[in-house]
Structure 1
Amino acid sequence: MYAPQGDTSLLLESLARERLEPGIRTLDLCTGTGVLAIAAARRGAEVTAADISGVAVAAARLNAVFHRCRVRVLRGDLTEPVFGRLFDLITVNPPYVPTAAPEAPAGGSRRAWDAGPDGRLLLDRICRSVPVLLTPRGVLLLVQSSLSGVAASLAALSRAGLCARVTARRIQPFGPVMTARVPWFERQGLVAPGTTNEELVVIRAVRSPARMPSAIWGTRDREAA
């Protein structure tokens, strides 16, 4: 099981800045151990979580029980388990680490981080499919690495009708997986020679003001520059 890392911490901080009214519907995709889902449930949200990994689903369910939180945990490929439903807030911490393998792993621990040569196997799908799950005033919080195309995510979310921007950043040292791939990253031009750090970002996306003129349902004005 893949333990929560710095990206989870950064996304938790962004979630804490959102004003969650009791009973709002939230969705945590690629939930892993369920940390984000439990954090939302503790604040009174009606929480659904989903993951393609059976091990992750079992862990998230056990963690929700342990923390005495009501979380509906579903197993399936990205948005398939919640097709047709709408949510006020969606959090996503997807696999985004670039790898030489052109397709996502069929199983095993690498499924939690491997995401194709450009790191966007899941990110591109998320930017296309997740916006339709948002209520008119819904919010998407997405975390990713700078190695996997932040500008591409912003552009894709804009094409999907959302107004998206980076609201949190953190530079951290490469972990064991990234460190092992530094020579390959350098050959692919993903990092400059000698690079040992990556920047993590949280993208916050809402309906474009041109399409949704009223104010969104609530966020504190403590967004990173």
Structure 2
Amino acid sequence: MDTTASDPLSLGHGTVYEPQHDSHMLAEAVVARGLPKAARVLDLCTGSGIQALTAASLGAERVLAVDISIAAVESTRAAAYRLGLDVETRQGDLHVALNHGPYDVVLCNPPYVPSEHVPPTEGPSVAWDAGVDGRAFLDPLCRAAPSLLSESGFLLLVQSEHADVPKSIAMFEREGLRTSIVARRTIEFGPVMLARAAWLEANGLIEKGCRTEELAVILAERNTSGA
């Protein structure tokens, strides 16, 4: 999926996290997986709204887009209106999402970039800065996943290898979910990662000279096999 000025999913120029490699990987994963009939879908950390809009276009019965950023919420609401799609939007965090669940499908492209700063609560970097190990949002999400999901629900999460994909998988499995990696892609560092590469190297978060990252889409779902 190409992000161009004519693309209706290229949203929020300069105000929210515009669709990038990870955004498109996650959207492609939900299209490939498909939605259950009459699906209730959560797009958590909606950003541009691409996941919510994708789910709505696939025929979800209810789509809720949640983001801490009011700019992201307004951008998603405007895009849904422009495209004639039914998407409910709410400003808030994981707790807001939990209060409106459970969901048959949860889609999440969270902040996962390691940062020496405390995760922000406003501004553009709220979309990527995630504490010193990149897991300020990932850890609470992994713990809360069972509470977000319906009895047959599944979650699709995209993150970087530099925020510890194996830990996410282990945490999901500890919560009783069955997991797999459904997509992988290696990309060059973007501007944010390049700008802090020296800090990442100094803190042992990447190997010296590393300027690539592997993105992974993780599927976590209820184990309905009875195993």
Match of 2:195 among 180, 193, 212: 180
What corresponds to 1:157 in structure 2? 172
State the Cα deviation string for residues 175-198 of structure 1 (Å, max 9, x = none). 000001110111111111111111
Residues 75 and 81 of structure 1 are in contact (CA less than 8 Å); yes or no, is this contact kept in structure 2? no
Quick check: 1:67 aligned with 2:79? no
Aligned equivalents of 1:135, 1:11: Cα separation in 2: 20
Match of 1:136 among 127, 151, 159: 151
The residue matched to 2:107 in structure 1 has which SS? strand
Aligned equivalents of 2:136, 2:36: Cα separation in 1: 33
Percent sequence identity over aligned pairs? 44
Quick check: 1:49 aligned with 2:52? no
- Cα distance, 1:85–1:106 mapped onto 2, change above 3 Å: closer
Residues 98 and 147 of structure 2 are in contact (CA less than 8 Å); yes or no, is this contact kept in structure 1? no
The residue matched to 2:205 in structure 1 has which SS? coil
**Shift of the alpha carbon at 1:129?**
1.3
**Shift of the alpha carbon at 1:21?**
3.8
Residues 20 and 43 of structure 1 are in contact (CA less than 8 Å); yes or no, is this contact kept in structure 2? yes
Quick check: 1:105 aligned with 2:120? yes
The residue matched to 1:17 in structure 2 has which SS? helix
What corresponds to 2:210 in structure 1? 195
Aligned equivalents of 2:47, 2:35: Cα separation in 1: 22
Q: Kindly indicate whether structure 1 or structure 2 has the higher relative contact order, using CA contacts under 8 Å at least 6 residues apart.
A: 1
Aligned equivalents of 2:95, 2:144: Cα separation in 1: 7
Match of 2:42 among 11, 21, 27: 27
Aligned equivalents of 2:138, 2:129: Cα separation in 1: 12
The residue matched to 1:130 in structure 2 has which SS? helix
User: Tell me, which stretches of 5 or more residues in structure 2 are unaligned?
Assistant: 1-15
Match of 1:148 among 134, 145, 163: 163
User: Tell me, which stretches of 5 or more residues in structure 1 are unaligned?
Assistant: 215-225
Query: After TM superposition, what 4+ stretches of structure 1 lie above 3 angstroms from structure 2?
Result: none
